[in-house]
Amino acid sequence: MLWAIVVLLLCACAALGFLWFRERQGNAALVARQRDAEEEIKRLQATQSQVIHTTKLASLGQMVAGVAHEINTPLGFVKSNVEVVADLLDDYRKLVKQYDAAVQYCLQPVDLIFGADKASLDKLVKHVEEARRKLFEARATLEKSPLLSDAKELLKDASDGLTQLASLVQNLKGFSRVDRDGMDLVDLNEGIESALSIAQHQLRDRVRVVKHLQPLPKVRCMASQMNQVFLNLITNAAQAIDGEGTLTIESRATPKEVEISFADTGCGIPDDVLPKIFDPFFTTKPVGEGTGLGLSIVHKIVKGHGGSIKVRTTPRKGSVFTVSLPVDGAAATGPAAVAANAA
Amino acid sequence: MSDPLRILLIDDEERILRALRALLREHVTFATTDPLQAVALARQHDVDVVICDQRMPEKPGIEVLREIKESHPRALRILLTGYSDLKAVLGSVNESEVFRFVNKPWNNAELKALVTEAGQIAREAPVIARDALPPTEHDRARSAVGVLVIESDAAVQQRLREILQPYYKVNFANSAERALQIMEQQETAVVISETQAGRNDLTGLLKALKLHHPHIATVVLTERANAQTAIELINEGQVYRMLLKPVRMGTCRLSVDSAIGRYWQLKQNPQAARRFTAAPPSEHSTTSPLRLPAALLNRIRSLPGRLLGAARV
């Protein structure tokens, strides 16, 4: 009887021990799985910031191509004009020399007067007449010469060109905000303007831009990221428009939010495509033309700032993308979360 | 210069036009911001040289130059561009057959010298209005002169064999060395070549060939044209056509046909080859023909000149 109890107790102990052991093992597996999951999340986050960085570079490449054209045209005439003006001045100097020679010729009679007799006085009169004629001619040539006014015109063009180049560089700087990283109080209207100037080569001659920008309160955000959002939306609008069309950009402020909308008269988005437009790697563009990341990045950046993005679209009529950002800036996730997205 | 040249300038940016007019003030210049008027202006003023921007809202420069080539072929054409995308580069070769492709910002002294050279050639060298030959003469040309393909990829070689063998006297080479052997033995009208054989650059060879034998027509095959290489091939290599791989039967046959026509007519009219003069090779380029081994250069130089009329151009 006692033996039986002892055996039973031993069995119970063994069973308990086994259960305890299994539980511990299970726990260990759980912990390991959790660690794996955490690592996976970290890896995904790293990939994601990598992807943001890559698309930033891709849009940089696109931008450089367009900007190269914008820069090389003014650079072309500025460089040429400055050199040509130097040549024109050389030509002008030659005319001045001729004039000078004529003046010298005029001065010669003064020497002759002192030792003059009748014959030489006649000669003198002739010389004076000749001198007058020469001086008059040289002067007329100088006055009629277009050299100086040409030079002036070329210099004016050169100066305009330099202003154009300077504002282009300013815009590029403003766009990338390399001078300021991190969260900042930003007037988003300025961001729209600088994104527009960068996208200029895609719009020019084809897409009319209508702006209704109301004064906005400054918003706390990462300026370079918001500029990327604007550039992506403008580029998408330009690409949605086949041939000529209009892009209307409106900005307005409500007490809590700043709203910016981009309305194009493009092809619109079909119903079956609409739910997927913010998915990473989803694209309707031919291979090689779009990364399929533009809108997913836009979505990501706007979310990261505690904002939202809405789309309204009518096939064959156009689409409106509206970005809303809280005025008190990234309150939803806090600056740290946004900063983590910055690649 | 005794008689000033007549030059047509086309650019949608007025300030570029003013700059060019001032630069070329020793010549008579006509300028317009409207590419749609360009063709009429070129004929009306019987211009010698046309300088045209590529990127214009109404019409791209390569199209304007193609139309001028057709309606006023006597003028030599220069494309002036702020940014060279591949489409512009290919179009300037295959459609507008430009004399030179010039990037903005340009070099004043070089552009002036270029315009003077182009103007003199336009005035002095006879024009070949159409490359295509009448059918009977074309058959004669095809059986008389050879087409040489320089291609190292066996698959592409096979493809070209299928396209070309039934119609032309074709030879194949997979290196510069072998290509020269063939050209030394046989009259070659057209050289079809890729830009690289394996790791060896072929553009230096193509440029040297054009430098010494401007009547031979070169057709370049390329996989993914690098704009810079392509521009050099236009200016220093005066390539006749530039085709993207994979090679299409239709375009390939058309190109080779008209290339043979071009060669055949230059053979009878050697002075016209001046119109296809290549620019002197730039020394700093890594693919300059000046970097070719001296022995190879000598062999290229002394390839038999088979022009009737004998006058070397």
CATH of the domain at A330: 3.30.565.10
Here the CATH number for the domain that contains residue A91 is 1.20.120
Residues B231 and B148 both lie in one domain: yes
Residues B77 and B149 both lie in one domain: no
At B10-51, the pLDDT tens digits run 999 999 999 999 999 999 999 999 999 999 999 999 999 999
Residues B116 and B257 both lie in one domain: no
| Type and span of the H or E element at B116 | helix B108-124
CB nearest A69 (choices: B15, B55, B57) = B55
Q: With respect to residue B290, please indicate whether it lies within any of the assigned structural domains.
A: yes
Q: With respect to residue B236, please indicate whether it lies within any of the assigned structural domains.
A: yes
Q: With respect to residue B309, please indicate whether it lies within any of the assigned structural domains.
A: no
Residues A197 and A301 both lie in one domain: yes
Mean pLDDT calculated for residue range B45-65: 94
Residue-number span of the structural domain to which B68 is assigned: 6-124
The overall pTM is greater than 0.80: no
3-state SS class at B135: helix
State the greatest distance between any 2 C-alpha atoms of chain A, in Å, as a whole number.
173
Q: What is the pLDDT of residue A343?
A: 33
For A243, counting Cβ atoms within 10 Å of its Cβ (0-12 exposed, 13-18 middle, 19+ buried), the class is exposed
Q: With respect to residue A39, please indicate whether it lies within any of the assigned structural domains.
A: no
Q: What is the pLDDT of residue A335?
A: 42
Decide which of A117, A150, A176 is a domain's last residue: A176
Q: With respect to residue B308, please indicate whether it lies within any of the assigned structural domains.
A: no
Residues B72 and B191 both lie in one domain: no
Place of tokens 């900007």: A67
Place of tokens 């010039």: B102
| Residues of chain B contacting A244 with CB distance shorter than 8 Å | none
Paired tokens of A268: 């619109």
Residues B64 and B159 both lie in one domain: no
- Whether chain A has a CB inside 8 Å of the CB on B28: the answer is no
Residues A169 and A181 both lie in one domain: no
Residues B68 and B180 both lie in one domain: no
Q: Is the dihedral of CA A199, A201, A204, A205 positive or negative?
A: negative
Q: With respect to residue B130, please indicate whether it lies within any of the assigned structural domains.
A: no
Q: With respect to residue A262, please indicate whether it lies within any of the assigned structural domains.
A: yes
Mean pLDDT calculated for residue range B69-90: 90
Examine the pLDDT at B110 and tell me if it is beyond 50.
yes
- Amino acid sitting at position A295: L
Q: In chain B, which residue's Cα lies nearest the Cα of A85?
A: B22
Residues A157 and A82 both lie in one domain: yes
Examine the pLDDT at B88 and tell me if it is beyond 90.
no
Q: A72 vs B105: CB contact, 8 Å cut-off? A: yes
- Whether chain A has a CB inside 8 Å of the CB on B87: the answer is no
Residues B106 and B183 both lie in one domain: no
Q: With respect to residue B159, please indicate whether it lies within any of the assigned structural domains.
A: yes
Q: With respect to residue A240, please indicate whether it lies within any of the assigned structural domains.
A: yes
Q: How far is CA A199 from CA A195, A234, A291, A293, B85, in A?
A: 6, 7, 18, 18, 17
Paired tokens of B217: 């027509």
Mean pLDDT calculated for residue range B86-115: 93
Residue-number span of the structural domain to which A171 is assigned: 51-176
Decide which of A123, A143, A176 is a domain's last residue: A176
Confidence of residue B313 (pLDDT cuts 50, 70, 90): very low
Q: What is the pLDDT of residue B85?
A: 74
Q: Is the dihedral of CA B178, B182, B185, B187 positive or negative?
A: negative
Average pLDDT of chain B is 90
CB B227 within 8 A of CB B89: yes
Decide which of B124, B143, B176 is a domain's last residue: B124
Planar angle of CA A58, A59, A63, nearest 5 degrees: 120
User: How many structural domains are present in chain B?
Assistant: 2
Suggest the residue from B15, B29, B52 to mutate for an interface test with chain A (most A CBs closer than 10 A): B15
Q: In chain B, which residue's Cα lies nearest the Cα of A71?
A: B82
Q: With respect to residue A315, please indicate whether it lies within any of the assigned structural domains.
A: yes
CB B29 within 8 A of CB B14: no
Strand partners, B191: B148, B218
Q: With respect to residue B312, please indicate whether it lies within any of the assigned structural domains.
A: no
- Whether chain A has a CB inside 8 Å of the CB on B20: the answer is yes
Residues A239 and A312 both lie in one domain: yes
Beta carbons within 8 Å of A243's beta carbon, 6+ residues apart: A206
Decide which of B99, B124, B149 is a domain's last residue: B124
- Whether chain A has a CB inside 8 Å of the CB on B22: the answer is yes
Q: How far is CA A60 from CA A55, A66, B78, B211, B226, in A?
A: 8, 10, 30, 39, 19
Residues A187 and A154 both lie in one domain: no
Beta strands A207-213 and A245-253, pairing class: parallel
Q: How many CB atoms lie within 10 A of CB B61?
A: 29
- Whether chain A has a CB inside 8 Å of the CB on B86: the answer is no
Here the CATH number for the domain that contains residue B224 is 3.40.50.2300
Residues A201 and A254 both lie in one domain: yes
Q: What is the dihedral of CA A186, A189, A191, A192, to 10 degrees?
A: 160
For B270, counting Cβ atoms within 10 Å of its Cβ (0-12 exposed, 13-18 middle, 19+ buried), the class is buried
Q: How far is A240 from chain B (nearest CA, A)?
A: 19
Question: Rounded to the nearest 10 degrees, what angle do helices B14-23 and A2-114 cross at?
Answer: 40
Decide which of A157, A176, A195 is a domain's last residue: A176
The number of C-beta contacts closer than 8 angstroms across A and B is 66
Q: How far is B84 from chain A (nearest CA, A)?
A: 9
Mean pLDDT calculated for residue range B49-57: 92
Q: With respect to residue A25, please indicate whether it lies within any of the assigned structural domains.
A: no
| Type and span of the H or E element at B131 | none
Any alpha helices (H) in chain A, and if so which ranges?
2-114, 118-144, 147-176, 188-198, 200-203, 223-240, 294-304, 334-341
Decide which of B94, B124, B154 is a domain's last residue: B124
CB B189 within 8 A of CB B266: no
Q: With respect to residue A38, please indicate whether it lies within any of the assigned structural domains.
A: no
- Whether chain A has a CB inside 8 Å of the CB on B18: the answer is yes
Q: How far is B22 from chain A (nearest CA, A)?
A: 7
Q: With respect to residue B1, please indicate whether it lies within any of the assigned structural domains.
A: no
Q: In chain B, which residue's Cα lies nearest the Cα of A204?
A: B57
CB nearest B15 (choices: A66, A69, A161) = A161
CB nearest A81 (choices: B19, B104, B106) = B19
Residues B82 and B201 both lie in one domain: no
Residues A185 and A264 both lie in one domain: yes
Q: Collect contacts of B290-298 with beta carbons under 8 A, ≥24 apart.
A: B291/B204, B292/B204, B292/B205, B292/B208, B296/B176, B296/B177, B296/B180, B296/B205, B296/B208, B297/B208
Q: How far is B249 from chain A (nearest CA, A)?
A: 24
Residues A220 and A291 both lie in one domain: yes
Q: How many CB atoms lie within 10 A of CB B241?
A: 22
Whether the link from the prior residue into A215 is cis, omega within 30° of 0, is no
Planar angle of CA B71, B75, B76, nearest 5 degrees: 125
Residues A170 and A237 both lie in one domain: no
| Residues of chain A contacting B13 with CB distance shorter than 8 Å | 73, 77
Residues A183 and A252 both lie in one domain: yes
Q: How far is A53 from chain B (nearest CA, A)?
A: 25
- Whether chain A has a CB inside 8 Å of the CB on B45: the answer is no
| Type and span of the H or E element at B158 | helix B154-164
Q: B18 vs A65: CB contact, 8 Å cut-off? A: no
- Whether chain A has a CB inside 8 Å of the CB on B106: the answer is yes
User: How many structural domains are present in chain A?
Assistant: 2
Distance of CA A66 to the CA centre of its chain: 10
Q: Which residue has the higher pLDDT, B130 or A52?
A: B130
Interatomic CA distance for residues A16 and A28, integer angstroms: 18
CB nearest B15 (choices: A69, A77, A84) = A77
Residues A247 and A182 both lie in one domain: yes
Interatomic CA distance for residues A297 and A227, integer angstroms: 12
Q: With respect to residue A84, please indicate whether it lies within any of the assigned structural domains.
A: yes
Q: B23 vs A80: CB contact, 8 Å cut-off? A: yes
Q: A157 vs B15: CB contact, 8 Å cut-off? A: yes
Q: With respect to residue A143, please indicate whether it lies within any of the assigned structural domains.
A: yes
At B244-270, the pLDDT tens digits run 888 898 999 999 999 999 999 999 899
Residues A252 and A334 both lie in one domain: yes
Residues B269 and B181 both lie in one domain: yes
Q: In chain B, which residue's Cα lies nearest the Cα of A65?
A: B83
| Residues of chain A contacting B22 with CB distance shorter than 8 Å | 80-81, 84, 88, 150, 154
Residues B139 and B287 both lie in one domain: yes
Q: A84 vs B18: CB contact, 8 Å cut-off? A: no
Q: A84 vs B19: CB contact, 8 Å cut-off? A: yes
Residues B47 and B163 both lie in one domain: no
Residues B155 and B46 both lie in one domain: no
10-residue mean pLDDT profile of chain A (343 residues): values are 76 78 79 84 71 59 67 91 94 92 82 75 84 88 90 93 83 63 82 85 83 91 86 88 91 92 91 79 58 74 89 90 82 42 37
Paired tokens of B2: 């005794």
DSSP secondary structure letter of residue B213: -
Q: What is the pLDDT of residue B311?
A: 43
| Residues of chain A contacting B23 with CB distance shorter than 8 Å | 80, 84
